[in-house]
Amino acid sequence: MISSGISSLAVLLIVIFLFREGFSLFSTSPLENKNIIVVNKTNPVSKLNAGQIKAIFDQEITNWKDLGGNNDSIILFTINDISNYFSDEEVGAEFEFLPDKLNALVDSNPTMLAVYQDKYLAKKFSGKIVNVAKNNIPDFIMGKQWFPTAEPAVQLGVAPLILGTLLVSFFAILFALPVGLATAIYMAEVADERLRKILKPVIELLAGIPSVVYGFFGLIVIVPMIHDVFNLPVGETALAGSIVLGIMALPTIITVSEDAIRNTPRSMKEASLALGANKWQTIYRVVIPYSMSGISAAAILGIGRALGETMAVLMVTGNAAVMPKSLLQPVRTIPATIAAELGEAPAGGVHYQALFALGCILFLITMAINIWVQAISTRRKMNK
Are 118 and 258 found together in one domain? no
Number of Cβ atoms within 10 Å of the Cβ of 265? 10
What is the SS3 assignment for 203?
Answer: helix
Are 256 and 190 found together in one domain? yes
Q: Is the pLDDT of residue 379 over 80?
A: no
Kindly state whether residue 18 falls inside one of the protein's structural domains: no
Are 164 and 93 found together in one domain? no
Kindly state whether residue 344 falls inside one of the protein's structural domains: yes
Number of domains the chain is built from:
2
Q: What is the C-alpha separation between 134 and 350, in angstroms, rounded?
A: 11
Mind listing the pLDDT tens digit for each residue in 191-212? Answer: 888 888 888 888 888 888 888 9
Contact assessment for residue 26 and residue 50, using Cβ atoms and an 8 Å cutoff: no
Q: What is the C-alpha separation between 79 and 6, in angstroms, rounded?
A: 52
Are 41 and 166 found together in one domain? no
Tell me, what's the pLDDT at 45?
Answer: 93
Q: Give 365's Cβ-side CA count (13 Å radius).
A: 25
CATH of the domain at 53: 3.40.190.10
Given 98, 115, 133, the domain boundary residue is 133
> Which is nearest to 342 in space by CA: 331, 333, 332, 353?
353
Q: Which domain holds residue 43?
A: 35-133
Mind listing the pLDDT tens digit for each residue in 111-167? Answer: 999 999 999 999 889 999 999 999 999 999 999 999 998 888 999 999 999 999 999
Cα of 124 vs its chain's centroid, Å:
45
Tell me how far CA of residue 229 lies from CA of 224, 245, 276, 320, 359, in angstroms: 9, 20, 48, 21, 35
Kindly state whether residue 168 falls inside one of the protein's structural domains: yes
Q: Is the dihedral of CA 271, 274, 279, 282 positive or negative?
A: negative
Tell me, what's the pLDDT at 220?
Answer: 94
CATH of the domain at 225: 1.10.3720.10
Number of Cβ atoms within 10 Å of the Cβ of 334? 24
Strand partners, 131: 47
> Which is nearest to 358 in space by CA: 331, 335, 332, 330?
335
Question: Within the chain, where are the H helices?
Answer: 2-23, 50-57, 88-91, 98-108, 137-142, 159-185, 193-206, 211-217, 223-230, 238-262, 266-274, 279-282, 288-290, 292-308, 311-316, 334-341, 350-383
Apex CA 260: angle with CA 9 and CA 180, to 5°? 100
What is the SS3 assignment for 194?
Answer: helix
Mind listing the pLDDT tens digit for each residue in 90-127? Answer: 999 889 999 999 999 999 999 999 999 999 999 889 99
Are 252 and 350 found together in one domain? yes
Are 184 and 265 found together in one domain? yes
Are 121 and 179 found together in one domain? no
Kindly state whether residue 153 falls inside one of the protein's structural domains: no
Q: Is the pLDDT of residue 68 over 60?
A: yes
Are 80 and 187 found together in one domain? no
Are 225 and 95 found together in one domain? no
Are 90 and 177 found together in one domain? no
Kindly state whether residue 154 falls inside one of the protein's structural domains: no
- Residues with Cβ < 8 Å from 356, sequence gap 6 or more? 18, 21, 22, 24, 25
Kindly state whether residue 139 falls inside one of the protein's structural domains: no
Number of Cβ atoms within 10 Å of the Cβ of 144? 13
**What's the pTM value of the predicted model, to 2 decimals?**
0.89
Given 99, 133, 167, the domain boundary residue is 133
Kindly state whether residue 87 falls inside one of the protein's structural domains: yes
Are 43 and 79 found together in one domain? yes
Tell me, what's the pLDDT at 383?
Answer: 57
- Residues with Cβ < 8 Å from 267, sequence gap 6 or more? none
Are 238 and 108 found together in one domain? no
Kindly state whether residue 99 falls inside one of the protein's structural domains: yes
